[in-house]
Structure 1
Amino acid sequence: MEVYILWHVRHARNLDGSVEHVDGTGELRWDEEDGDDLKIPGVYSTGARARERIERARTTPGFADEPDCFTVVRHVVDEDAWTEGFVTVVG
C-alpha cells in the first residue's frame, strides 16, 4: 500500500532577510539546522488528494506565507525507509 505524505516548509530568513526556497537544480530545499520549519499537513491515499490539500492549504494562515513550498513524497507502508542509522555531528 502506498501513501502520499504532504510536507510544507516554512523557510528561515537569511541574515540579509532573503529566503532560499529552492536549490541550484530548482528543487524545494530545506535544512532544519538552518531554522527551516517542516510540517506534515496530511497523509493521503493518492497524489491527487495530496495536491487537492495543497490548494486548500495555500489560502490558510501560515501556509499562505509560502504557498509554493509544498512537496508530496510517495511512501510504501510497512517498508523501511531509513536503514543505515545516523550520527549526530556537534559543532
Structure 2
Amino acid sequence: MITVFLLQHSYEWNENENTKIIGIYSSKEKVEAVIEKYKELPGFKEFPNDFYIDAYRVDENEWTEGFMFGLIYGN
C-alpha cells in the first residue's frame, strides 16, 4: 500500500480561517524538510506552528459514510 503525505498551512486571523495546500509528498521526511524551508518565508514565518500533515493511502476511500445535509443548512 502506498502512503502519501498532504502538507497544509492553516491559521485563523480576524475570525477568518486561511488554509493553503502546500503539496503532496512521498515521505514524512520530505514534508518536514519543506516545512523548515517554508518557516522562513513571509506569512508562513509569522505562523510557524500552523503546518499540518495528513497521511493518505493511495486508492483508498477516506470518507466512507454519508452525511446529514439538513444539519449543515438548518433544514
- Give the TM-score category using the shorter length: 0.7 to 0.9
Q: Distance in 2 between matches of 1:78 and 1:6?
A: 19
Cα distance per residue 1:39-76 (max 9 Å; x no partner): 11111100000000000011112211201101111110
Q: Larger % of strand: which?
A: 2
Structure 2: which 5+ residue stretches go unaligned? Answer: none
Indicate the residue corresponding to 2:57 in structure 1: 76
Counterparts of 1:3-42 in structure 2, within 5 Å, are 3-14=4-15, 35-42=16-23
Query: How many residues align structurally?
Result: 71
Larger radius of gyration: 2
Kindly, what percent of the aligned residue pairs are identical? 34
Q: TM-score of the superposition, structure 2-length normalised?
A: 0.81
Structure 1: 5+ residue runs without aligned partners?
15-34
- Runs of 4+ in structure 1 deviating by more than 4 angstroms, as ranges, are none
